[in-house]
Amino acid sequence: MNAYSEDLRRKIVQALRRGMAKSQAARTFSVSLSSVKRYAKMADEGRSLAPKKRPGSKPRIGGPAERLLEADLEERPSSATLADRREYLRRVANVQVSESTVSRMLKRLGFSRKKGRWERANATSS
């Protein structure tokens, strides 16, 4: 489920400041009573009503490693296996990832495997 927008949170707090009961605000805005209480407390303490960033780990392959992988694909589209590309990233970018991660990144970059060769998915056949 996505977090409620900052705009909705502000409207809830404004309604409470105009005298609306917390339970009524929860029903009016279709949110839980605990959310209304949390937003009221945040506003009273002067904290931002903006939703927090979602938790989770950072992507294993970032910008520089992504560009290196793309350049490697352009240079050797068919001669390197996923294990070779994984080893290449480990040596050149000091990034240790699994072959599955390399495969997902290649797909995310728009490459697909066609007859033993990695090509851009939108490349036309000759």
pLDDT, one tens digit per residue, over 85-112 is 889 888 888 888 888 888 888 888 888 7
Taking 80 as the threshold, does the pLDDT of residue 123 lie above it?
no
Q: Which residue has the tokens 């797909």?
A: 107
Please, is 76 exposed, middle or buried when counting C-beta atoms within 10 Å of its C-beta (0-12, 13-18, 19+)? Answer: middle
pTM over 0.85: no
User: Contact 12/22 with Cβ under 8 angstroms?
Assistant: no
Beta strand residue intervals within 1-126, DSSP E: 111-114, 117-120
74 membership: H or E segment, kind and range: helix 63-75
Percentage above 70 pLDDT, the chain:
90
Greater pLDDT, 68 or 29: 29
